[in-house]
Amino acid sequence: AANEHVPEIERFIRVIKERVRAFFTTYPVQNIPNVMKIHLLQHTVQMLNLTAQPNGVSALHSPSAIVLGTALDVNIHCRIEFGSYCQVHDEPTPTNDVHHPRTLDAIALRPL
């Protein structure tokens, strides 16, 4: 009904805000682009949904495993930390040209 608060949802929103604020305090750059902020919020919610909640619907299965059927895979979801500097391979047409770099500088936003 209108004007009613759900304590569990409010607590989950507070946890998301705490995780995002924790990232901002530890990230070395002060001005973070809006695109990165959006991906940070999506990444935070995804990581929370990939872990089983002890007081949730199931103590064994995560919300993501119940709803979407995807479980946490360390080799996929934890390969690189969010916001890390990385070099990605981008070579649409392979050449032996030494004047063009084979990798691009990038910031990790989401798991592959």
pTM: 0.79
Distance CA 57, CA 24 (A): 31
Contact 108, 80 (CB under 8 A): yes
Distance CA 18, CA 41 (A): 11
pLDDT (tens place) for every residue of the chain, 112 residues total: 577 888 888 998 999 999 999 999 999 988 999 999 999 999 999 888 888 888 888 888 888 888 988 888 888 888 888 999 999 887 777 777 778 778 889 999 987 6
* String of DSSP letters for 9-56: HHHHHHHHHHHHHHHHHH-S-SS--HHHHHHHHHHHHHHHHTS--TTS
